Structure formats: C-alpha cells, structure tokens
Structure 1
C-alpha cells in the first residue's frame, strides 16, 4: 500500500503524510563527493607544510633566491594572511555562483601560486606567491565545509565534515615526504600537479541541492539530491523539509545585517567565532610549526625533520579516528575531551620547560615533551581540529551561511597568523614555560565555553538545530507512525501561524 495524503489536524493547518519504507540512502556518492571536494584541503595542507622542507633549502648559502631568517618568517606567516584575505569574498562568491563552481575555480590560484614559487628569483616573488596560495587556502576553508554540510545525510554529516581536516593533515604529511627531494623548485613543480588533479576530478560532481533551491532551481535540486542519495532512495520527504527550510531563509534577506540582527543567527555566529577562537588560541599552529624546535630545546635526539613526519603521521591517524567517532559520540563530548586534555598536555609541557629553565635535571623525564606534543596533536585532531569546521556548515540557514562562514574562517586565519608570528616573541620574552601556561589557561576557558554555549548537532537537520538555538518549536515536525497492518509512514506536520 502506498500513497500520499493531505490531512487536517488540530494545532496544525496541514499535515502532509508520506509513506516510508525506512530505506537507507546510498552513502557512496556522498563520500565520493566529500572526498573530491576536499582535495582542495589536501592542496592547502601542502602549502602549510611547504615551509618545513623548503626554508632550509632557501637559506643555504648557494640558494637562488637566498632567504634570511626574517624573510623566512614572513614567507611562513603570509600564507595565513592570504587566507584571511581570501576567506571573506569566497563566501559571497559561493552564494552567487555556487559552491561547486567556486571550488573548481580555486584550482587556478593554487596552480598559479606554485608556478610563482617554482620560478621565483627574489623574496618578494615568494611573498606574492604565498599570499596568492593563501587566498585559495582561505577560500577552500569556507566553501568546502559548506558544500559538504549541504549534500550530506544527517547520519553521516559529521563523518563527512571531518574529511576537510583529514585531507589537510594528509596534505601536510605529503608535503613533508615530497620535501625529501631536496630541491625547492622541483618540490613546487611536483606540488603544482595537485590543483590540476583537483579540478579534473571534482568538476564532475553535482552542485549543492541547498544552493540550487536558494536560486529557485527546484528540478535541478531534486536531481542533485537524488544523485547524492542514490537512485533507489525516495527523496520526497527530505525535499519537502529542504524546500521549507530554504523558503524560510529566503523570506529573510541575507547578509551581515540579518546575521547580526536575528537572535538565532547571532547566537550561532557567537558559537562559531568562539570555536574558531579557541581552536587557534590553543596554540596548535605554534606547536606544529615549531615541533622540531620544541624537541631540540627539550634535548630530544630525534632530528627535527623526522619529528615533523612523526607528528604528521600521528595527526592523520587521529583525524581519521575522528571520522569514526564524530557521528557516534557527538560533537560536544569530543570538543570537551579535546580541549580539557589539550590544557593538561600544555600544562605538563610548561612544567617541563620550567624545570629545564631552572637547571633541574630532566634527563629521567626527557620523554615528556614528546608524549605531551603527540597527545596534544591526537586530542586536537579528534575534536578541536575538525569539529569547528563541521559546525560552521551546520549552524546557519542558507541565507546567511556564506557570509557567516566567510567571516568566521577569516577570523580563524588572522588569529592563526597572529599566533604563529607571536609564538617566538612570547617564548623569548616570557619563556617557554609561561608561554605554554598561557595557552593552557585559554584551553581551560575554551572547555567552559563549549560546556555552556555549544549545542549538540549530531544527527539533527537544520530545522532542529535552529529550533534549539532559538528555544522555540519548529513549524515543521516529523513523526513516524505505524498502522494496525504494520505499514510505517512518516508524517511531516506544518505548524502555521493563525
């Protein structure tokens, strides 16, 4: 027995009743699209790790160009500044021309950047190349999580959302490994192939159904959603909810004004900025970028290049584990565990350097910095690494998602730039122990922020998330009912104002 029914019910104007066979949507197309979309994140990861093998080569006496230590510091940091510049227009562009089109277009600045780096003859050319690459890095950090959150079934949205951070970590590790070629120009030429692979593979993917609905392209949105869910899956009930959510967001004019004036989106924006703040101020980039230096200061016998590769492998494995946990354990619990354990690791690392700086014998505990850094990287990769980017795509309705994601990502990148530049000055003026204790205090505050402010979004659609943020019931309710003959149906109830 099948069919669709329009019923009347007290407290509701209309009930749309749809048959359901409880069939699961196909996950393969969703995983494929998420994997291909985040090749851009893989490329971004190679930009992040490029300085580790390249700067020592550029600072060699016979290098052309020859780079001083101060110039090298700027070459490393300008990527983050470029990402800040590229993030804001990316969200706006994605709202105008589409998520897929924007992501495909980012292959161009990625490719141009690597060619500029490969053919550079001065520090200035390297500066420009890094800024151009950074702009693409910032843009992909906005649009890729947005695209994934809009195509994903709520049951796997968290796992797919971790693909962004996972691909970054794999790209970082790949950059470390390819850097062993020992020539900065050959390294840049090898890495320039990746944007081409990204464009050729991803261009075949469908556009986000949410974006298509925002442009009133209903038939195209249906085809897109059907492709992502599989040809045998009945998309009608999901499409009804998606259309209703899109209609609500289109009634309100998007933009920064709507983002800040609407109490619900303002709360979501506060949560997003808070998560990005505590992600960056945890000191993660300082720990990663200066891993070799931390090990050297602690008297470790592990060469800095080997240490970087070890940390890269640890980060990839931990981020992969996060893909398995995030839709089982939930976002909140992983964030709470992540930040609290990071605080512990940084506190222990600060105590170790306090003993070392005060001439205590630390030979019996020389393993402490290695274990602390490795544990820090693991718990960051399980929680505060991927989850802020996941929630950036989950918290906002379509009409403000572009600008909200762009501002939050830009804010994250400028903080990353500041922390990376300030870390060496902090250790010089405050000492390593005080520096790590400052980051410890920030992680403690971040844990409190998550506990008080951050909702659980696991397995919830946009309507439910917006309902929880507002504290008001949604005007759409989904109920599963079973008749006497065992037929299960889903009822989508629209609660309309009188």
Structure 2
C-alpha cells in the first residue's frame, strides 16, 4: 500500500464492492425517475384516443407531461435542507415513497386531476433524487472510479426512459404503472442496507460511524489517512460556509455558474425534453415502415448505448473533452 505526500490521495488496494452496490441500489430511484419522466411518450397517445377510458384534451395532456418539471423545482428547493438534516441515505430512501405513490395514483386514476397530482408528486421526488443520489455517490466513491459511478446516474435515467417506453408500448396504462411501482419498492429494500456517506457522518460529528462507513466502502481496515483528509475538508466547509450571493460576488464562482448555465441551456434548448415527452407521438406523425413504438425503442436504445460509452471512458478522457465533442 502506498501513501503519497502532501495533499495527494491514498492509493487504495481494497475492494470497492460496496461502492458499486451502493451506487447501483441508489440509482434504482433514478431509473424510477426516468420512467416517470418518459411516461407521457407511450401513455399520452393512449389517453388521447377516442376510445380512451378517460377524456383528456391535448392541452391537458401537455400539462400532464410537464407536471414533473414543476414538482422538481419544489423538490430541489426542499432537498437542500433534508440532505444535511436527514442525511444523504435517508433522503434517497425517502424518495421511494412518493415515487411509489405516484405510480399507484396513475394506475387507479379516474380523472385528469389525479394524474396531475401523481405526476407532480413524482416530480418532487425527482428533485430530491437528482440532488441526493449524485451527492451520495460523489462522497462515497474512490477518485479513480468516481467518474464511472457518477455518470451512472445519466445511464440509469436514460435506461428508465427506455424501460417505460418498452413496457408502456405493449401494456395498458394501469398495468404499466403497477409494474413500474415495483422499482421504488426494490430500491427501498436494497438501498436501506447501504452505509451512510462518511462525509455526512463527519458533518454530524460521528467519527466512529464515519470510519466504519469508510472501511466498508474502501474494503480496508486502515482508512486513517483518508478519514483525516475528510475531517479537514468538513472543518473547512463548516468554517467557510458560502452564501448565495457568493456565486456572483466571487470571480471564480461567476465563471463556474456561467459554464453551467451555457451547458444546461444548450442541452435544454436543443429540444431533448420535448422529444422525450412526445417521442411516440412524433414517430407516429412522421410515419415509417416500422411501427412508431419500435422506432421509439430504437431511438432511446441508441441514446442509452452512447451514454454507456461516454460513462466508460469519462475517467480516462476527462469531462471537458466529452462536453466539447457533443
């Protein structure tokens, strides 16, 4: 085992099994989020049919599609408090309940209003999950696999969108929702056994628990060097807590905010959200020799494959080249 000098990280020789398990079980909630997000694609065409069991107008369908985005705003605002009070692990576990409730409401909805509420609740959970899960993974992952595990969030989200399009294309809305409700249950039953983030445990002044957590995640008994490094990092964060205005008052922060805004704006303005919501409707209107259901599945399969390729090489090529090449 080798320890480098200065501020360099310890080179670990343990087994990262728990890191992979925690990342996998934690991202089951992200799969559920992707399924809720992609639900309008196979479901709206069925709801808008003349023989639909529920009378839904085009405008109502549009609101139904974007309702999770409104809920996600609320969830993202709330989660900033819950991740520091309840912890990363408990917050992720908490998301399974509204995700499950959303699917059950969709399965037995008799009115558009119930579907609105169900989609909004799922959006709140989405805001929680997309903050807590990447934070948790970033805090438990060894630097050499952090990029791989972190990018797994994108992979599993796209997989969720693909999965709901496969299930929803060939099953009724009710059966699709009931089958989908198994995912948050599975997430709850598996992730509950994972350790809490050692970084959070140090924030709560629980060094013994943080040490045990780190030992599990690293597959090592001797984690003193990394534990000391995390302790120093937590102390620095505690004593140098930034304010919202610091994002704009500090030159380095302004540049970071600008980069994030440009990247996110480029992604959203490309129309990817609208395509995700209305993929089957778009392919249906376009017409082709293959069915619009199969065309949608092919589209999201290609998207998933490319996301997996990028995830597998991100630690070797870096983040910036991947953004430039896209």
State the TM-score, normalizing by the size of structure 2: 0.91
Name the counterpart of 1:284: 272
Q: Is the 8 A contact 2:41 2:280 kept in 1?
A: no
Provide closer, same or farther for how the CA distance between residues 23 and 94 of structure 1 changes in structure 2, counting only shifts above 3 A: closer
Match of 2:161 among 160, 169, 172: 172
In the alignment, the residues of structure 1 paired with residue 76 and residue 7 of structure 2 have an alpha-carbon distance, to the nearest angstrom, of 42
Match of 2:148 among 159, 162, 172: 159
Q: Is the 8 A contact 1:36 1:198 kept in 2?
A: yes
Q: Is the 8 A contact 1:252 1:258 kept in 2?
A: no
Secondary structure, aligned partner of 2:164: helix
Deviations 1:454-492 (A, max 9, x none): xxxxxxxxxxxxxxxxxxxxxxxxxxxxxxxxxxxxxxx
Match of 2:302 among 309, 314, 318: 314
Matches within 5 A, 1:212-361: 212-232=201-221, 234-257=222-245, 259-292=247-280, 294-295=282-283, 300-338=288-326
Deviations 1:200-242 (A, max 9, x none): 110111111111112222111111111110035x322222221
Q: Is the 8 A contact 1:45 1:172 kept in 2?
A: yes
In the alignment, the residues of structure 2 paired with residue 196 and residue 298 of structure 1 have an alpha-carbon distance, to the nearest angstrom, of 38
Shift of 1:33: 0.8
- Please, what is the CA RMSD of the aligned residues? 2.4
In the alignment, the residues of structure 1 paired with residue 108 and residue 118 of structure 2 have an alpha-carbon distance, to the nearest angstrom, of 10
Matches within 5 A, 1:75-154: 75-154=64-143
Shift of 1:195: 1.0
In the alignment, the residues of structure 2 paired with residue 326 and residue 287 of structure 1 have an alpha-carbon distance, to the nearest angstrom, of 26
| Structure 2 gap segments, 5+ residues each | none
Provide closer, same or farther for how the CA distance between residues 17 and 125 of structure 1 changes in structure 2, counting only shifts above 3 A: closer
In the alignment, the residues of structure 2 paired with residue 324 and residue 39 of structure 1 have an alpha-carbon distance, to the nearest angstrom, of 19
In the alignment, the residues of structure 2 paired with residue 46 and residue 84 of structure 1 have an alpha-carbon distance, to the nearest angstrom, of 18
Q: Is the 8 A contact 1:295 1:302 kept in 2?
A: no
Matches within 5 A, 1:41-80: 41-80=30-69
Shift of 1:43: 0.3
Higher strand share: 1
Q: Is the 8 A contact 1:57 1:182 kept in 2?
A: no
In the alignment, the residues of structure 1 paired with residue 243 and residue 199 of structure 2 have an alpha-carbon distance, to the nearest angstrom, of 17
Deviations 1:15-54 (A, max 9, x none): 9899x7x542422211111111111100011112211222
In the alignment, the residues of structure 1 paired with residue 238 and residue 58 of structure 2 have an alpha-carbon distance, to the nearest angstrom, of 51
In the alignment, the residues of structure 1 paired with residue 136 and residue 248 of structure 2 have an alpha-carbon distance, to the nearest angstrom, of 23
Matches within 5 A, 1:188-207: 188-207=177-196
In the alignment, the residues of structure 2 paired with residue 188 and residue 40 of structure 1 have an alpha-carbon distance, to the nearest angstrom, of 15
Shift of 1:319: 1.4
Match of 1:187 among 164, 172, 176: 176
Shift of 1:71: 1.0
Provide closer, same or farther for how the CA distance between residues 310 and 16 of structure 1 changes in structure 2, counting only shifts above 3 A: closer
Provide closer, same or farther for how the CA distance between residues 244 and 75 of structure 1 changes in structure 2, counting only shifts above 3 A: same
In the alignment, the residues of structure 1 paired with residue 203 and residue 60 of structure 2 have an alpha-carbon distance, to the nearest angstrom, of 46
Computing the radius of gyration from Cα coordinates, the structure with the larger value is 1
Secondary structure, aligned partner of 1:256: coil
Q: Is the 8 A contact 2:40 2:277 kept in 1?
A: no
Provide closer, same or farther for how the CA distance between residues 25 and 274 of structure 1 changes in structure 2, counting only shifts above 3 A: farther
Q: Number of residue pairs matched?
A: 323
